[in-house]
Amino acid sequence: MRQPIFIGLFIVLSILCYACATTNTKIVSSWRNPSIRLQRSDINKFVVAVFLKDDSTRKMAENLIARRFPGQAVPSYEYLGFDRLSADTSFYLRKAAADGKDGVVVVYLSNVDRTRNIRAKNIQYSQSWSTGINQAIYAQDVVLTVRDQAIYQVQVDVYAANRNALIWSGLTSTVDPFNDKTLIHDVTTEVVRQMKKERFLQ
């Protein structure tokens, strides 16, 4: 009698594993400097700056990215404080270069597209005649399915401090992220995967 329980548990675990392995994030576009390739072992220190007005969310996002690169990534709130980040990156690049940092990674929310999808589905009811061959439709209903959807576009720019130049840029798109933490995690995972795919990060 215990076999159905084990089968049910296996199905549940399989679904959970599949859900963890999938992501709603994809790379929309990317650009890289073709003359530069980064060896992860050669990276010394770089600053991670997430442009968000909310300090607590910014801290969470920068810490989450920094944990992916232990000993290398420095959250900007630790390096620069909680002063509002400027869109002009030249100051940060000059400071990073003067302090011996390799570069600056800038992450910001480019756009949020909220849409409402409405789908109409026809449901037909039929009645068979005694022969079982002919059918006569006697009623038809239309069912509307309404679903709200949010698409978050996040831009990730990588700057080389010593060159004072942009060396990699990517735009990501995420559909209905579970929360801010999931969004940052999925964006970081997809960006690193894209960099490796392009042989920019090895």
Helix (H, G, I), strand (E, B) or coil at 169: strand
- How far apart, in whole angstroms, are the C-alpha atoms of residue 184 and residue 196? 18
Whether residue 123 has pLDDT greater than 60: no
Q: Which CATH class is domain 24-114+150-197?
A: alpha beta
pTM strictly above 0.75: no
Q: Contact 65/50 with Cβ under 8 angstroms?
A: yes
Segment 181-196 mean pLDDT = 91
* pLDDT at residue 144, rounded to an integer: 62
Q: Contact 183/150 with Cβ under 8 angstroms?
A: no
Q: Contact 107/49 with Cβ under 8 angstroms?
A: yes
CA dihedral of residues 129, 130, 131, 137 (deg, nearest 10): 10
pLDDT tens digits for range 16-37: 333 344 468 999 999 998 887 7
- How far apart, in whole angstroms, are the C-alpha atoms of residue 58 and residue 51? 7
* pLDDT at residue 119, rounded to an integer: 67
- Residue spans of the domains in the chain: they are 24-114+150-197
pLDDT tens digits for range 136-157: 444 555 556 666 788 999 999 9
